[in-house]
Amino acid sequence: MTTAAEARQKAPLWVRWLLPKDAPLYQRNDAVIGWLMAAPALVILTVFLIIPFFMAFFWSFTNQRLISPNPTEWVGLRNFGRLLNVQVFNLEPERDTAGHIVYDDGAIAYPRLRNFTRNNPDYPHLDGLREFTSWQSGENRTVILVGDVVFLRALINTLIFAAVIAPLQGGLALLLALLLNQALPFINVFRSVYFAPVVVSMVVVALLWRFIYDGQNGLLNTILGMLSFGSFQPVDWLGNPYTALPAMIAMSAWQAVGFHMVIWLAGLQTIPASLYEAAGLDGAGAWQKFRYVTWPGLRNTAVLVLIVITIQAMGLFVQVDVMTRGGPLDATQSVVFQAVQRGYDKQDIAEGSAISVLLFIIVFVIAMVQRYITRERE
Amino acid sequence: MRSMSFENQQRLLIGLRYALLILIAMIFIFPIVFMVVSSLKPDMQLLRDSGSLRAFLPVGDISLDNYADAFERVPMLQFFFNSVFTTVVSVAVALWLNSMAAFSFAFLQWRGKALVLSLIIATFIVPFEVIAIPLLMVVNNLPWLGSEGIEIGWLNSYHVQIIPFIADSLGIFLFYQYFRDLPDELVEAARIDGASIWQIYTRIIMPIAGPILATVAILKFLGMWNAYIWPLMTIRSEELRPIMVGLQYFFQLNTAWGEIMAYLSVVTIPVLLFYLALQRAFIESIATSGIKG
């Protein structure tokens, strides 16, 4: 008498590969057909998602270009080293032969930075760096030198964008959700209206808001002027380095707040009405009900909403591409915009890949933080 | 002072609530109203009106001239066709491939299934922006059977806009979740009746998958119709450009605002009409996609 295990041993190789160990042999058709049905989608995902993902890591260690006559070379961590190189340098004042500080028009004179950053054998670690920012400290100037000024600017902008928009958009979405979480007539009409911008393409929204933010004929200036009875001075919102990024944040929140409002609403609906009734019997007011019933019930939703907004914010691209192309004065550069500029416009796949890998590491850390916070609660 | 009765107080509160709801609704709806209204006005009037509330009213010299001019300036019909074509093909094929894979995960036993499924879920955290640049390199080196034999490189084609997106892990997962919650007896009864696996998929499971088909279709539709970064990188020639990238013609054109608004309206109104017709399905499917994590 043959056992199942023996029958399995005698079966052809493909059966042994595809059939689960504990499945009876007669299910071998299932295994083959199951594999075949999943295969087309799996092939697509492998070629267009998994391979590019791993290749990004590989190319980030090379000097790969989109089209190049030269063979690809392994360059180790050079791409990352350049992108992330930050050095603090103390620039000492120029002194005359007697050792006195030289003044130029009443200001302390300093040697030129390029004396240190261009082929100076005494300062090999500063070679090729550029000034990011500097400030006065005593008689010296402290200079922050970086390998890639624009990328660092982009990274900081993107982090600011994410750090501001997550609480702002998440909080506004919660307020809208609380406002809508009532059985009143027409409440669904309002929900649909608040949600409408979500289905409109960000390209359209960004182009439309360029007109709203316009310095001369912009609607925002008009409305602010009317509300202040003409005392408001018009601002070129996207042309001013101080207002460009905040303007972008406000517009992005306007477009996507409905999305997270719906997620909050789903969370609110999981809180049983009996809890509110009990709190009401205990004499709790509206704020106390929110603080002790609503908010504890929304904890995981809160983490989810904040993380989703943060991860979406890290991908900031369309707004920059349509509205400012990174300007004015790099005030709206973003990580993805830089990845596309280098990987596509300059066809430098290696550097674009290195930026993509850094972006992935940031997103991965954020996602892990979410896992950690929500797991502890369970 | 006479204090208000409880009933009147409640009424006032509800009234205030509606006032607030309407005020907020205006913030969301006015930019869209402004877009459509402005598309009907000549540039001079558009600029003049933006200094007052007339900006939101279809008054003055109203016509469809901007639409005619915009259609003349750019090959909008071509762009529109390209977007419709790539979107329709992607949605149709994605529904098929994703549901078929999910059917296999939910109902059939094969080795390595659990591993593959967890791998698919793991890819959720990879944003498209991360793989866009390496993907550009990958498609630039893929072969394609063209009219002149085998060619290398997919750039500048319809298939580069479609094929990378005809399967996606979220779509597979949404179908899988739906199928997993269906009663097992459904499949077992059909098997006892002698139905083949393919018949079970096409005749039993797919006909009752309506809600999830709608969800995946809507997500795919929005993703494809609004596609920007990928076609921006892969498409050079005008004949193949989708409608969102076609908008680039107007980026530097700060004088022809009326035409820009006309183009924006043409791009947006189909989506908004779609949304108005299927509000509940849209909102639910997008909420599902947000809760995936």
Condensed to tens digits (0 to 9), the pLDDT of residues B195-229 reads 889 999 999 999 999 889 998 998 899 899 999 99
Q: Where are the domains of chain B?
A: 6-67, 76-251
Chain B: nearest CA to A1, how far in angstroms? 26
Average the pLDDT over A5-25 and give the result: 75
Chain B: nearest CA to A95, how far in angstroms? 50
Q: What percent of chain A has pLDDT over 90?
A: 38
Where would I find the beta strands (DSSP E) of B26-148?
143-146
Asked whether residue A258 carries a pLDDT value surpassing 60, the answer given is yes
Q: What's CA A34's distance to the chain center, in Å?
A: 38
Asked whether residue A98 carries a pLDDT value surpassing 50, the answer given is yes
Q: Where are the domains of chain A?
A: 4-59, 86-146, 150-377
Rounded-to-integer distance, Cα A66 and Cα A54, Å: 17
A263 and B164 within 8 Å at the Cβ level: the answer is no
pLDDT for A275 equals: 87
pLDDT for B264 equals: 92
* Amino acid at position A322, single letter: V
Number of cross-chain residue pairs from A and B with Cβ atoms under 8 Å apart: 293
Question: What is the value of ipTM here, to two decimals?
Answer: 0.88
Return the residue of A nearest to B95 by Cα: A41
Average the pLDDT over A249-257 and give the result: 95
B109 and A20 within 8 Å at the Cβ level: the answer is yes
Rounded-to-integer distance, Cα B8 and Cα B20, Å: 18
Chain B, residues 171-230, CB within 8 A of chain A, namely 172, 197-198, 201, 222, 225-226, 228-229
pTM: 0.88
Asked whether residue A139 carries a pLDDT value surpassing 60, the answer given is yes
Identify which of B56, B66, B96, B108 has the alpha carbon closest to the alpha carbon of residue B262: B66
Tokens of A20: 């689960």
Whether residue A210 contacts residue A322, with contact meaning beta carbons closer than 8 Å, is answered with yes
Average the pLDDT over A85-97 and give the result: 85
Average the pLDDT over A73-81 and give the result: 87
Return the residue of A nearest to B52 by Cα: A222
Average the pLDDT over A282-290 and give the result: 86
The two beta strands, A140-146 and A86-91, are: antiparallel
Average the pLDDT over B118-126 and give the result: 88
Lowest average pLDDT, out of B70-74, B117-121, B144-148, B155-159, goes to B144-148
Rounded-to-integer distance, Cα A191 and Cα A269, Å: 15
Asked whether residue A2 carries a pLDDT value surpassing 70, the answer given is no
CATH of domain A150-377: 1.10.3720.10
Q: Is B102 helix (H, G, I), strand (E, B) or coil?
A: helix
pLDDT for B253 equals: 63
pLDDT for B3 equals: 65
Average the pLDDT over A221-229 and give the result: 86
What are the pLDDT digits (tens) for A308-334?
899 889 999 999 999 998 878 899 999
Asked whether residue B103 carries a pLDDT value surpassing 90, the answer given is yes
Asked whether residue B57 carries a pLDDT value surpassing 60, the answer given is yes
Chain B, residues 56-95, CB within 8 A of chain A, namely none
Average the pLDDT over A270-274 and give the result: 86
Cβ atoms within 10 A of the Cβ of A77, count? Answer: 11
Asked whether residue A202 carries a pLDDT value surpassing 90, the answer given is yes
Asked whether residue B292 carries a pLDDT value surpassing 60, the answer given is no
Return the residue of B nearest to A43 by Cα: B167
Q: What percent of chain B has pLDDT over 90?
A: 44
Chain A: nearest CA to B63, how far in angstroms? 20
Q: Is B50 helix (H, G, I), strand (E, B) or coil?
A: coil
Give ∠ CA B32-B241-A67 in degrees, rounded to 5. Answer: 130
B108 and A30 within 8 Å at the Cβ level: the answer is yes
pLDDT for A378 equals: 47
Chain B, residues 23-62, CB within 8 A of chain A, namely 24-25, 27-29, 31-32, 34-35, 38, 47, 50-52, 55
Asked whether residue A1 carries a pLDDT value surpassing 60, the answer given is no
Identify which of A8, A34, A41 has the alpha carbon closest to the alpha carbon of residue B110: A34
Asked whether residue B287 carries a pLDDT value surpassing 90, the answer given is no
What's the burial of A159, exposed, middle or buried (CB within 10 Å: 0-12/13-18/19+)?
middle
B134 and A321 within 8 Å at the Cβ level: the answer is no
Q: Which CATH class is domain B76-251?
A: mainly alpha
Return the residue of B nearest to A301 by Cα: B291
Helix, strand, coil shares of chain B as percentages rounded to 5?
75, 5, 25
Name the average pLDDT for chain B: 88
Average the pLDDT over B100-126 and give the result: 90
Output b/e per residue, A352-368; b: 16+ Cβ within 10 A.
Answer: bbbbbbbbbebbeebbe
Name the average pLDDT for chain A: 87
Counting every residue, how long is chain B?
293
Q: Which chain A residues are Cβ-neighbours of B55 within 8 angstroms?
A: 219, 222
Return the residue of B nearest to A351 by Cα: B133
Whether residue B165 contacts residue B224, with contact meaning beta carbons closer than 8 Å, is answered with yes
Which pLDDT band, with edges at 50, 70 and 90, does A377 fall under?
Answer: low
Lowest average pLDDT, out of A259-263, A297-301, A372-376, B33-37, goes to A372-376
pLDDT for B254 equals: 62
Lowest average pLDDT, out of B216-220, B242-246, B255-259, goes to B255-259
Q: Which chain A residues are Cβ-neighbours of B32 within 8 angstroms?
A: 196-197, 200
pLDDT for B102 equals: 95
Residue that is written with structure tokens 């103390």 in the block = A90
Three-class SS of chain A: CCCHHHHHHHCCHHHHHHCCCCCCHHHHHHHHHHHHHHHHHHHHHHHHHHHHHHHHHHHCCECCCCCCCCCCCECCCHHHHHHHCEEEEEECCCECCCCCECEECCEECCCCCHHHHCCCCCCHHHCCCEEEEEEEECCEEEEEEECCHHHHHHHHHHHHHHHHHHHHHHHHHHHHHHHHCCCCCCHHHHHHHHHHHHHCCHHHHHHHHHHHCCCCCCHHHHHHHHHCCCCCCCCCCCCCCCCHHHHHHHHHHHHHHHHHHHHHHHHHCCCCHHHHHHHHHCCCCHHHHHHHHHHHHCHHHHHHHHHHHHHHHHCCCHHHHHHHCCCCCCCCCCHHHHHHHHHHHCCCHHHHHHHHHHHHHHHHHHHHHHHHHHHHHC
What are the pLDDT digits (tens) for A344-356?
888 889 999 999 9
